[in-house]
Amino acid sequence: MKRIGKRTIIFENTPVIKGYASIAGKKEYEGPLGKFFDSIIYDPYNGLETFEDAESSMQSEAVSLAIEKSKVSSDEIDYVFAGDLLNQCTGSSFGLRDFQLPFLGQYGACSTMGQGLIMSAVFTESGAARNAVCATSSHFCAAERQYRFPLEYGSVRTPTAQWTVTGAGSCVVGNADKGIAIAAATVGKIIDYQVTDPNNMGAAMAPAICIIEP
């Protein structure tokens, strides 16, 4: 690896994404990306007892599918980098416990997948791992319960309230001749835009995709 500037890493061996998968809910399926998801859950409980159980099951399925599509065996995966929006990363912890793989929890909210890809690339590029899995998930109903009001409460949503995705995604990263290359990574820094509306996450996040720093 080689550093460029203060925050960018160049991967000289270029780790690749060997396999990837995504699971989504009914609302997401009805959007413009619907045809690209590997699997859809139409029941927000996914046949389980709680929304949190459903989220864990989505992440578990996404990881299983990504591993299957990568043609890499579980014995060849050395680390999992995964996270979600729930306290103590419970969605990931319960979703991945049956895999029995070394697990490093990530809590980057909307940046969790990007963070997981960076960590996976760093570990495989350095030789610390042969292959690594990264994964993330969220669930609208579980997020509402944690950050706003339980849906059963019947609270009126504010005009600025965001709609958290119900879905999960996973990638298997390793060194290979073919695959989607991870050539470089730039890590962002915290900038406070003084957004005081706790429901308006969009206002806080929008600058991150609008401002390109030279």
For the chain, which residues make up each domain, given as ranges? 2-187
Range 206-210 average pLDDT: 64
Dihedral sign from CA coordinates of 198, 106, 190, 204: negative
Q: Of 183, 182, 78, 170, whose CA–CA distance to 131 is shortest?
A: 78
24: tokens are 């989504």
Q: Of 100, 141, 134, whose CA–CA distance to 119 is shortest?
A: 134
Q: Which CATH class is domain 2-187?
A: alpha beta
22: tokens are 């995504």
Residue 197 three-state SS:
coil
How much is the pTM? 0.89
| Structure confidence by residue, pLDDT tens digits, 126-182 | 999 999 999 999 999 998 888 777 777 778 887 877 788 999 999 999 998 888 999
* Maximum distance among all Cα pairs of the chain, rounded to whole angstroms: 53
For the chain, count helices (H), then strands (E): 6, 10
| Structure confidence by residue, pLDDT tens digits, 180-205 | 999 999 998 888 888 888 777 777 77
| Structure confidence by residue, pLDDT tens digits, 98-122 | 999 999 999 988 889 999 999 999 9
Distance CA 212, CA 214 (A): 6
How much of the chain is helix, strand and coil, in % rounded to 5? Answer: 40, 20, 40
| Structure confidence by residue, pLDDT tens digits, 50-109 | 999 999 999 999 999 999 999 999 999 999 999 999 988 999 999 999 999 999 999 988
The confidence score (pLDDT) of residue 105 equals 94
Helix orientation angle between 140-147 and 51-70, rounded to the nearest 10 degrees = 130
The confidence score (pLDDT) of residue 176 equals 87
